Every structure is written in structure tokens, then in C-alpha cells.
A and B are shown apart, each in its own frame.
Chain A
Amino acid sequence: SYELTQPPSVSVSPGQTARITCSGDALPKQYAYWYQQKPGQAPVLVIYKDSERPSGIPERFSGSSSGTTVTLTISGVQAEDEADYYCQSADSSGTYVFGGGTKLTVL
């Protein structure tokens, strides 16, 4: 079955740039989406179609794609950005999949 691979954890100091990667064989042909989840809360969409930002999401969140890897970048990380981040995509048959999640720690 199709899989998306994320690093389990990323740590950055406030004000620095955090980069979270997501790898998958179908990513060159399928869009990726990113969700932020804080403890006890439902996930929130922060990036769609690789690099588009929904309304209400701060400009410090951005997304990019290169080959089989997509990257969520958070510039000028703030304490409130500490959360779990999940990438999501689909394969050619329309089967959806989530990555294993990355815990972002703000030091």
C-alpha cells in the first residue's frame, strides 16, 4: 500500500525556521496537504495543493515540492506552532493516505 514518510520529530528555537519533510513515490503526480494538530484538538489544514495556504493561516507557513518529497516550512517559529504535523496525499486510484506525523518542538 502507498506510504508517506515523515521524520518523527523536529526541534527549533523560537524565531528560527522549521522544515518538515514528507516523502512518497506518488508525490510527483499527486498533490500534498499539511495539517497541524494540537493536543486534544482536531487537525487543521495549513497547506493544500503542495503550496497553497488557506485563509486564516499565517504567512509564516509555506509549502514546496521537489520530486518525491514535499516540505512544510514554518518561518519565524513561534511557541504556538508547537504541534504534530501530518502530510496527506492520495494515489492514482483515489486512495488517501496520511504520513506518520512529525512532532514539532519549540525549544
Chain B
Amino acid sequence: QITLKESGPTLVKPTQTLTLTCTFSGFSLSTSGVGVGWIRQPPGKALEWLALIYWNDDKRYSPSLKSRLTITKDTSKNQVVLTMTNMDPVDTATYYCAHVSSSRNFDYWGQGTLVTVSS
């Protein structure tokens, strides 16, 4: 059974760096074809893909946010970490992590964590 859970601060100040951790079980990020991605959703708005890391450490970033994002993995801990620099109130959103299957879709999702950016 694949499960994922996001953790991190619920409130960050403008200009600060956000660090989110996705802790998962039921699969290994050392298995060929597997990946973990991050997606966010501002309140009442659409889903936005942020970043993705594959089993072979290949990384992909949203072009519009690439300069602010870093994604890393710790295979031994079954964790993927996303950092986003220079946070702004427009970054207020629910942040999800999700398992990426070999079919290149998000087939299992975490419950999401709401991050509010405010001074």
C-alpha cells in the first residue's frame, strides 16, 4: 500500500525559504521508473505542478518557478524534500506530494499541507 505524507511549517514570512518534506511508504525511490512530484493549489484555484525527482536523481522543475525550487531525495529515509526560496503571499497554497508511476502520472497523493505566507 503506497502512502505519502507532507510535513513542514504552516506559516512562513515573506522572503523566507520554505522547506517541505514528503515521507512515503509502500515503494522505493531506488526502483527504476519511479518518481515523486510536488504539486500545489492556491485556495479556490487550479493545481500547479512544481517539481519532480526520479529514481535515477533526474530532476524536473516548473519553468516559471525553476529559479526558486530545489528538490532532493533521501532514499534511505524514504523522503523527498522541496525547498522554495523567497516566499511571497501569492505562494499561499496547499502543497501536495505524489507518487509518479512508470506511466508518468500521479497515481497516489498525500493529503496535502496548507502553507500560509504572511507577516
Interface residues of A (CB under 8 A from B): 1, 31, 33, 35, 37, 42-45, 48-49, 52, 54, 86, 88, 90, 94-101
Contact = CB atoms under 8 A, between A and B. Distances in A.
Contacts of B52: 96
Interface string B26-63: 00000000000101000000111100100000001111
Interface stretch (B13-21, B78-86, B106-114): B106-114
A10 to B, nearest CB: 15
Chain A at the B interface: mostly helix, strand, loop or mixed? strand
Given A43-B109, A86-B46, A48 B103 contact: yes
A95 B107 contact: no
Nearest 4 A/B pairs, CB to CB: A42-B109, A33-B105, A96-B49, A98-B47
Contacts of A54: 107
Given A42-B109, A96-B60, A31 B103 contact: yes
Task: Tell me which of B37, B64, B112 has the highest count of chain A C-beta atoms within 10 A of its own C-beta.
Answer: B112
Contacts of A97: 49
B69 to A, nearest CB: 13
A64 B27 CA distance: 30
A33 B47 CA distance: 13
A43 B47 contact: yes
B36 to A, nearest CB: 12
A1 B63 contact: yes
A95 B37 CA distance: 11
